[in-house]
Structure 1
Amino acid sequence: MAMQLGAVAPAHAQEAPPPGQPSAAAQAVSEEITVTGSRIVRNGYDMPTPVTVISTKDLQASAPANIADYVNQLPAVSGSGTPATNIRGLTSGAAGLNTVNLRNLGSNRTLVLIDGHRTVASTLAGAVDTNLVPQGLIKSVEIVTGGASAVYGSDAVAGVINYILDRDYTGIKGDLSYGQTTYGDDNTYRATLTAGFKFAGGRGHILLNGTIVQRNGIYGVPRDWARNGYYMTQNPAYAPGNGQPQYMPSAHAGLNSVTAGGIVVNGPARGTYFGQGGVINHYNYGENYTANSEWTIGGDWQVNQHINGTSLQPAERMRGAYGRLSYDITDGINVYAEASYNRSLGLSWGGYQTDRGNIAIKGDNAFIPAALLAQYPGIATAGLTLGSYNLDYPTRSSANLRQVQRYVVGAEGSFDLLSTDWHWDTYYQHGVSKNHVSLISPNRVTLGYARDAVWNADHTQIVCRVTRDGSADPLAKGCVPWNSFGVGVNSPAAVDYAMGNPWTNQRLQQDVEALNFSTNIANPWLKPIGLAFGVEHRREATSGYTPDFAKTGWYSGNFSDTFGHYNVTEGYVETDVSLPFNIDFNGAVRLTSYSQSGRVVTWKTGFTWNPISDLRLRVVRSRDIRAPSLSEMFVTGGGNTNALANPWAGGASARFRGVPQGNLNLKPEKADTWDFGLVYRPSFLPGLGLSIDYYDIKVNGEIASLSAQNIVDRCYEGNEDLCKQIALSMPSNLAAPAYSYGNNWNRTTGPVPGFADFWVYTIPYNYVSERARGIDFEVSYLTPLDRIAESLPGTLSLRGLATRAIEDTTNNGTQAPTDIVGQNSGSLTKWKYRVTANYTLDEWTMQLTGRGFSAGVYDNTYVQCTSGCPASTALHRTISDNHLPGAFYVDAYLARRLKLGGVEGEVYFQATNLFNRDPAPFAFGPSDTSSPEPSANRGLYDYLGRAFRIGLRFSLGG
């Protein structure tokens, strides 16, 4: 384990350290700070790789419900997955996940470690849920930015998040807290209890920890800011060449092709919609409406709103237990065993099943209102088409139960060889993640049977056509007719027939064996030479089970079973060498052999230089990799149902089924990284530290899949190979190669209107390159205030973190490279920052935190204009307003230490988003708004409002 390699003092918590150096507080008290980022442990300011350390006190002052809430606020972290941002991924197994994403390069390119060890992934894509870290035991969190694959292994393209546990703790301590928003919702309970005891005269140690977190979430969107009908609409006044912008962020807007109880979208009855109890109404399309637009601005826009079928904040239930037993069998050998179990349940609503003007109703449907037939008798012959978000059946929802077990047995020790002290450690780790995903969703087949409702032979009862005429399909048995005309018009039996609970089980297993050695070799002229080397073998495997009924036919579900495994064997060497002229060299090389994707070499070389005592310069050059995930190699089906623009129908919305397929020919991604930085600690101002680091990461052969929309568009433009990834009906064998499906239709004429049974197969390839550049800033200052004036009591510490993203350009070789920096529709803003001011006086601690990000745009490729606009193209859409504002939030923390007998305690109060700032209005659309999100970018803006947390910490004998 990295923290125990090398002959230096043990690590201590940091108050406010700049990246890769001890804090001002540490300097003030001459406390030696040790951080990792290397297999050879030395003081952080000696290392060329920037390392940001978050201490226990930092975490306590933030009082997060879980560790991810804090880490995701750090400027170097962008685009992380949270339960709120994963809410639309009903079938992906990501519901309830908290993942960390450094540099916005993807959570699968950030390596997550616990005490320097890998942990089993929580999803097929390789994401690790940070909820499984024993949170009451975290001593510090180390963020190693820049490449670290040569030191720690694959997936460290953007860096490493290393959670350091307090493995030597003795005593009993706990933390109890309760929180809610200023609106009285999202009630959250958190409790941790930790106990550590020595036995056998101090040779043995037992450590136990338990964690309970319950977050009730917010079902629906009970916020005023979400009720303005804010969408990205197709400008009704736009026509090619008329100088008007094509896109227009609009308030009081809605899709006129859907209502709660159905709206007629074709023929002479167009605009007739059906309300409570089937009441007939006529829709007001508003003044800005045009006949070819699905969007209404003004008019009856409120009729189309259905955001309350979505969770603003998913609910979470987490339980965790951790135990560790260690024993010194000799003075130089310690053996240990660890076991942990985590159970996490994520519950969320994913939106009503929306049919955007694609419900075909036959003319003899028995539920067509008589009054409508009397007014429009032609319906009896021609039928009609409805759009609906089907309020009579429940919103789609998911329950994602994740159970993770992790077991580690190991030994560590030291020995003397050739007058040199050596440290060694070895361990075996076994991890299992079991993921059970259960959905509530309508079934396409049964709902289709139920909607086709007719009178029975003697015209006395409404039945399903399949019941009257007979059907051999087992799903037709017990069909209950469905009334598509109104709200509150269907019985519970009809709902039960149309709805179902598709589910799947997925199992992930990771086995790791490792052996490491390290030493510091005496150097009579300069500092000791650090040396570390080791070997590791790892096996990753997955298996699953889905019942046959859950594999096809669902609006949400359609799960598939994924089976596969691969092995990794690797060895590494790392060294630290002092050179003349105050220069230090750190280098590492690792040879890795994958059973599926071959051999690859990663390496790192870095230098630090002290031209003067106050200034340290550093540079790192590295080659890093990410291996293909189990999902990218082995997935053979599943997918989602969604909407895209049909180019054969002038861009009209159409439903499709997206089906992912694995690729066994994938190779590891390769990244080349430069880091340049400086650390300045002026001797004339003790307590001040400053660091600036520039990073440049180039990833080649990045694994990605074209989106369904891109596949369809490029097929339409003539790419025959991509046409082979499109089919118009479900193939008989989902595991067969996707390219065999595309020969049953003509590219020129396109698919049948409406994309009935339209399937798009997405396949990953090593075809994308990406470049990310930016600058990290960190400054800290700690001083007793009596340094400033003798009469001033207490201690003040300041810390500022900021990242300026300069570039994040992706090139897929098929269109112009796109740079997403500053697109506040995503997560990578130009500036992201966090500033804290902490004041300690006797038993009191007070902290103010300011956090925020800069203003940006929806899309860097958009052309903003209001008149005289250039031609709007697929690569450069014109838009009336491309601006999205930045945000600044203030958090406050107050704590009072107490002592009662032998028990030390602390009561604390925290308020986040102190001024209750609403998120900026964000316009989703215009293509897929079939399941509307709240009009906020929840991956960037604070969307809950002001929130409070009160708590009590206590310790006994620690």
Structure 2
Amino acid sequence: MTARLPLKSYFLSFAALSSGAAFLMPQQSYAAATVTKPADTKPASSQPSKTAASHKKTQNQTESNREVITVTGSHIANSHIKSPTPISSLSQQEILNQAPSNNIADLVNQMPQFAGSQTPQNSAYSLSDGTAGINALNLRNLGPVRSLVLMDGRRITPSAITGIVDINTIPQQLVKRVDVVTGGASAQYGSDAVAGVTNFVLDKTYTGLKVTADSGISDYGDGENEHAAIAGGFGFAHGKGHVLLSGDIAHQDGIFHVSRDWNVNGNRIVANPDYVAGNGQPYYLRVGDAGTNNVMPGGIINASTGGVANSLRGIYFGPGGSVNHYNYGSFSTSSVSVGGDQNLANNNKNIGLEPQSDRKNLFGRLSYDVAPWMTLYAEGAYNESEYVYNSGPQYLSSVSLKGTNPYLVDALGADALQNVSSVTVGTTALDMPYRRTDNLRSVQRYTFGGEGNFEMFGKRASWSAYGQYGVTHTHEQIYNVMNTAKIANATDAVRNSAGQIVCRSSLTDPGNGCSPIDWLGTGVMSPASIGYVLDAPWRNQRFQEIVSGVNLSTIPFATWAGDVNVAVGGEYRDERSSGYVPTEYQSGWSVGNYRPTFGHYNVKEAYLETAIPLAKGLSFNGAVRGTDYSTSGYVTTWKIGGTWQPIKDVLFRATQSHDIRAPNINELYNAGTSQTTSVLNPATGLTNTVLANTTGNAKLRPETANTTVVGAVITPRYVSGLAVSVDWFHTKIKNAIEQFYPQSIINECYSGYTTFCSAIRPDPTGTRDLLISASPFNFAKLETSGIDIDASYSFPLRRLLRDADGKFTIHGQATNYLKYVSDSGMGYTVDTSGDISSGPPRWIYRFSATYSTSRYSLTAIARGISAGNYSNSYIQCSGTCPAYNANYPTINNNRVTGIFYFDMNATYNLPVEKIGKMQLFLTVTNLANTSPILLPEGGLEADETYSNLLGRTYRGGIRMEF
């Protein structure tokens, strides 16, 4: 919601912020105190003439009267209302000084309130859901779908049918402030605001022209990136009208092979070969110097049938089909060896570290004062992005070759295969190109609206109304994917009457195009066989959103304690999806199996919000919203809160909210996606490859949440510039819309829940071990609680040195997650706080210190997370371990280290005041080149969510403003 206030009021609010009263303003926080303005050093001769200055002053005053201040967390258009809801902000100056990349999401995600966000770095394996490359914010680790993203108080067109917003689509060069509401806000803003709201506030009255160009690279000479942006604004018709235009373009080189030393540690989790029920040993072992033994670049025989059972196990094939014998080391399972030849598979280097990306953004805004009480505006935005990933090598752990296969006979000889009916080969098919995902996405948004101020009940009132249409087109494609039927045909090779090796199927159907494939060795596959079995499935998906809303904020009356503020309004939203996939790409592939999703729903909403002063220093805030979904019916959400300021230095605040989130189109109507992964089978202790198929569930109900926040803000008068806040939060979600993933499904089946067993069956194609089907549903509850700590201190250096120039600003944020429990209702729960693999870290923190003068600024940043467990489902023990439980298996070592990063940022203003402003900037991220958190996993052995994978990186550039 927006409200029009004179620019003078804005400056008064800013002055209050700078003096330490930051937390009393609902639309800003102490973060704005870091904004510094260079002193005007222009000589007298360079000043504009009196006439020109007078004209500019008149125009600026007109622009100021048109400016509408966005109040985040409330629809009440009164910046003097003390908000009971905690709001953290990033100012424009912080964004310019501290952004680690050319994407604002990277800075926002460093705030401790965000945990587990999706980024281009950690979405490489989103092969089938269309979200690869999206920067989606995740408040409280409750999921991006529960974190509402707004721009100037309005919804942003989602970038996928899951409803999540790509922060890349926001015109970043015009962002004036980023506000984060850390508490349920469904009563104010509707569904999806269960965890909170992130509001990007634009500088809608910007006048001038600014240009930015920057480039970056890693310390290893890879990951090069370039970015350029331009934004301009000007008034016309004596200040009644205003035009804003902006655009930017960015490119990031991909890093398609891991060339970092930290990825060769060989940490794995394996079944303990000495475990016997009741002997007190852990069921699993975490070991080093371990690697995959059941797949090799040129293939390895894992089993044979007939003849002497498994007599051929361990034979692997090298360059040109050379025959070798694998050393299984000190001990091994069916898929992992410790020591020996564990490093020969070398698959941990053959995956992508960073996607290649290209994005382009255009934004335009036109506004005009048609009357003293009405400003009409129109906005348009177009965003295009493409992300290309190396998603790793082909992976086949159980290729079955008949004992008479001519390639096998040629490699081993007929004598070695006497009476052998078949062998099972595992391979990563080095001769084949790696799988590559290419997600092309365009998002368009068009908004028309009006807003203004007028007098009502003898007081100032504000109104706004808008309509918005947005459409997202995605083209999702996976290159070099195996067709399972063609793999079977090409694998079944025989010799024809002329002695040539051909496909058996070609004997009866010579024109079927089949070319036999040789799995035994590297450099042995023919181009014809590779071209026959591989293809590039794709899907086109279209998502449309129509939103309209109207809001009114007024002061109908006053009590002895002050004005009573009331806001009312309504919103209508319509969302629908459609798509197209060629029939041949809808099934039969090793991964992908794209199907288009068709679905539609609409929602009608109305709300009422009020802020009532009760006594001196005591106020009440409340909101209620009625929501009617075409799919799930009517629900009511509400929020109550209050503030108490017994003395000027201390403010107490508390809120209680009841929020909802209705199922989105993907959860309701997903036509089916698939992903290949692996699981530890508790019944056998072996690792199985799995094809997981997920579809929608049209019977889903809205999930409900209750959130409590209690805190205090201290702004001591005796320490000017100091502000400290501490808030305790607790969120409990019932009927949460979630789904079980393959490992959980197989664990539940093993524990006796037969409903889950029905979702598991052998893979009929034989290319994976198992096929698991899963859909989302409303399970019991999700609960989290913790403490947010926020402190800032800003002071001029002259307090310490009388004649010194400049100012220091110190800013610290930390969140302590006390609890994060997912209760499936199946008889067990796991608190995953401190669980690196699936929950939020116990502590997330970020501290910055900035020294700034009129000429330059230096900022040091320390950030990181605390140590924790790999998985809180494990019970760590070394002896006298409890009996095995599939939900809480025992392990010898479950700990993972924390991470600490140190960054530096510097800016320097060039002395070119006569022609405008020019600033050079340099950012060094991960100054100490700290390695990421290492995890006991195959492939990429690092945490991708909280860790820096690239190592030390540099980014430098220039900003110009005229």
> Under a length normalisation based on structure 1, what TM-score does the superposition of the two structures give?
0.92
Q: Distance in 2 between matches of 1:447 and 1:65?
A: 43
Q: Distance in 1 between matches of 2:594 and 2:516?
A: 27
Specify the alignment match of 2:874 in structure 1. 862
User: What is residue 9 of structure 2 aligned with on the other side?
Assistant: 9
Contact 2:213/2:228 (8 A) holds in 1:
yes
Q: 1:939 to 1:729 in 2, by over 3 A?
A: closer
The equivalent residue for 2:61 is none
**Which residue of the partner structure matches residue 311 of structure 2?**
268
Q: 1:483 to 1:812 in 2, by over 3 A?
A: same
1:318 corresponds to 2:331: no
Please list the CA deviations of residues 627-671 of structure 1 after superposition, one character each: whole Å capped at 9, or x if unmatched: 101011111223223334556x73444444322222222111100
Amino acid in the other structure paired with 2:2: A
Matches within 5 A, 1:62-73: 62-63=98-99, 64-73=101-110
1:20/1:156 CA distance change after superposition, 3 Å? farther
Query: Secondary structure of 2:712's match?
Result: strand
2:404 to 343, 351, 364: 364
Structure 1 window deviating more from structure 2 (707-716 vs 301-310): it is 707-716
- Is 1:952 aligned with 2:958? yes
SS of structure 2 residue aligned to 1:217: coil
How far apart are residue 169 of structure 1 and its match? 0.5
- 2:268 corresponds to which of 215, 223, 231: 231
Distance 2:225 2:188 in 1: 38
8 Å contact 1:190–1:213 — kept in the other structure? Answer: yes
> Distance between the aligned counterparts of 1:334 and 1:413, measured in 2?
6
Q: State the partner residue of 1:698.
A: 732
Give the corresponding residue for 1:636.
Answer: 671
Contact 2:736 2:781 in 1 (8 A): yes
The answer to whether the 8 A contact 1:34-1:43 is kept is no
Provide closer, same or farther for how the CA distance between residues 18 and 93 of structure 1 changes in structure 2, counting only shifts above 3 A.
Answer: farther
Provide Cα deviations, 1:344-373, integer angstroms capped at 9, x if missing partner: 1011011112122x1110122111153512
1:674 paired residue number: 708
CA deviations over 1:857-903 (Å, ceiling 9, x no partner)? 11223222233433332122221211111111111111111242222
Is residue 512–residue 537 contact of structure 1 (8 Å, CA) maintained in 2? yes
Contact 1:529 / 1:576 at 8 angstroms: preserved in 2?
yes
Kindly provide the CA deviation profile for residues 250-298 of structure 1, in whole angstroms up to 9, marking residues without a partner as x. 2221121111010011121111000111111110111233xx5422111
Asked if 1:764 is matched to 2:764, the reply is no
Q: From 886, 904, 908, give the equivalent of 1:874.
A: 886
Kindly indicate whether residue 694 of structure 2 is the aligned counterpart of residue 660 of structure 1. Answer: yes
Q: 1:412 to 1:716 in 2, by over 3 A?
A: same
- Whether 1:813 aligns to 2:825 is yes
Contact 2:654 2:711 in 1 (8 A): yes
Unaligned regions of 5+ residues in structure 1, if any?
Answer: 731-751
Which residue does the alignment assign to 2:491? 451
Give the aligned partner of residue 335 of structure 2: 294
Q: 1:611 aligns with which of 646, 653, 676?
A: 646
- What letter corresponds to residue 813 of structure 1 in structure 2? G
Q: 2:92 corresponds to which letter in structure 1?
A: T
Cα distance change of structure 1 residues 305 and 104 upon mapping to structure 2, 3 Å threshold:
same
Which of 19, 26, 30 is residue 23 of structure 1 equivalent to? 30
Q: How many angstroms apart in 2 are the aligned matches of 1:530 and 1:420?
A: 10
Counterpart of 1:938? 944
Give the SS at the match of 2:331: coil
Distance 1:784 1:756, change over 3 A: closer
| Equivalent in 436, 445, 451 of residue 406 of structure 1 | 445
Shift of 1:220: 0.9
* Offset of residue 240 of structure 1: 3.3
Residue of structure 2 equivalent to 1:46: 82
Amino acid paired to 2:292: L
Distance, in Å, in 2 between the alignment partners of 1:608 and 1:911 is: 41
Residues 489 and 56 of structure 1: is their aligned pair in 2 closer, same or farther, counting only changes over 3 Å?
A: same
Aligned-pair CA distance for 1:428: 0.5
Distance 2:9 2:524 in 1: 73
2:421 is matched with: 382
Is the CA contact (8 Å cut-off) linking 1:175 and 1:951 kept in structure 2? yes
Residues 954 and 481 of structure 1, relative CA distance in 2, 3 Å threshold = same
- Contact 1:20/1:50 (8 A) holds in 2: no
Does 2:684 match 1:650?
Answer: yes
Looking at structure 2, the residues matched to 3 and 69 of structure 1 have their Cα atoms a distance apart, in angstroms, of 29
On the 8 A contact 1:703/1:768 being kept in 2, the answer is no
Distance 2:277 2:292 in 1: 22
Cα 1:6–1:720 shift into 2, 3 Å: farther
Letter of the 1:697 counterpart: T
- Which one is further off, 478-487 or 222-231? 222-231
Match of residue 435, structure 2, among 380, 396, 405 = 396
| Code of the aligned partner of 1:854 | S
Q: Which residue type is aligned with residue 618 of structure 2? A: I
User: What SS class does the counterpart of residue 703 from structure 1 fall into?
Assistant: strand
Query: Could you report, residue by residue, the CA deviation over 1:600-629 in whole angstroms, capped at 9, with x for unpaired residues?
Result: 001110110011111000000100111101
Q: In structure 2, what residue type is equivalent to 1:400?
A: N
Q: Which residue of the partner structure matches residue 156 of structure 2?
A: 119
Distance 1:756 1:692, change over 3 A: closer
TM-superposed CA distance for 1:505, in Å, is 0.8
Name the residue aligned to 1:741.
Answer: none
**Deviation of 1:331 (Å):** 1.8
What are the equivalent positions in structure 2 for 1:284-683 lying under 5 Å apart? Answer: 284-289=327-332, 293-356=334-397, 358-370=398-410, 372-374=412-414, 376-378=416-418, 381-440=420-479, 441-459=481-499, 461-470=500-509, 477-521=512-556, 523=558, 525-645=560-680, 650-683=684-717
Deviations 1:118-170 (CA, angstroms, capped at 9, x unpaired) = 11212222211111011111111000000111011111111000011111101
Shift of 1:435: 1.0
Instruction: Look up the equivalent residue of 1:801 and give its one-letter code.
Output: Q
Contact 2:158–2:472, Cα closer than 8 Å, also in 1: yes
Task: Tell me the residue number matched to 1:922.
Answer: 935
Three-state SS of the structure 2 residue aligned to 1:800 is: strand
Once the two structures are TM-superposed, the CA of residue 529 in structure 1 deviates from its matched residue by 1.5
Residue type of the alignment partner of 2:619: D
Query: C-alpha displacement at 1:757, in angstroms?
Result: 8.4
Measured against aligned partners, the alpha-carbon deviations of 1:673-726 in whole angstroms (never above 9, x if no partner) come to: 100010101011111111011101010010112233444454566555444445
Stretches of structure 2 that go unaligned for 5 or more consecutive residues are 38-63, 304-309
Question: CA 1:722 to 1:817, structure 2 compared with 1: closer, same or farther past 3 Å?
Answer: closer
TM (norm. structure 2) is 0.92
Is the CA contact (8 Å cut-off) linking 1:234 and 1:293 kept in structure 2? no
CA distance in 1, matches of 2:744, 2:676: 16
Asked if the contact 1:261/1:389 (under 8 Å) is kept, the reply is yes
- The equivalences for 1:49-88 within 5 A come to 49-63=85-99, 64-88=101-125
Distance 1:729 1:795, change over 3 A: closer
CA drift of 1:727 comes to: 5.5
Q: Write the deviation string for residues 486-537 of structure 1: whole angstroms up to 9, x where unpaired.
A: 0111122221111100000111110011111112345263332111110110
CA 1:42–1:787 in structure 2 vs 1: closer, same or farther (change >3 Å)? farther
1-structure distance, mates of 2:863, 2:147:
23
Structure 1 position 178 matched with structure 2 position 215: yes
Change (3 A) 1:23 1:180: same
Tell me whether 1:905 sits opposite 2:921 in the alignment: no
Instruction: Quote how far apart the aligned CAs of 1:557 are.
Output: 1.3
CA distance in 2, matches of 1:298, 1:818: 34
Cα distance in 2 for residues equivalent to 1:756 and 1:794: 64
Identity, % of aligned positions: 39
**In structure 2, what is the Cα distance between the partners aligned to 1:826 and 1:718?**
24
> Structure 1, residues 799-835: CA drift from partner, whole Å, max 9, x if none?
1011011001110111311111011234511111111
Q: SS at 2:908's partner residue?
A: strand
1:851 matched to 2:863? The reply is: yes
SS at match of 1:218: coil
Contact kept, 8 Å, 1:3 with 1:116, in 2: the verdict is no
- Distance change in 2, residues 1:259/1:453 (3 Å): same
User: How well do the aligned residues superpose, as a CA RMSD in angstroms?
Assistant: 2.5
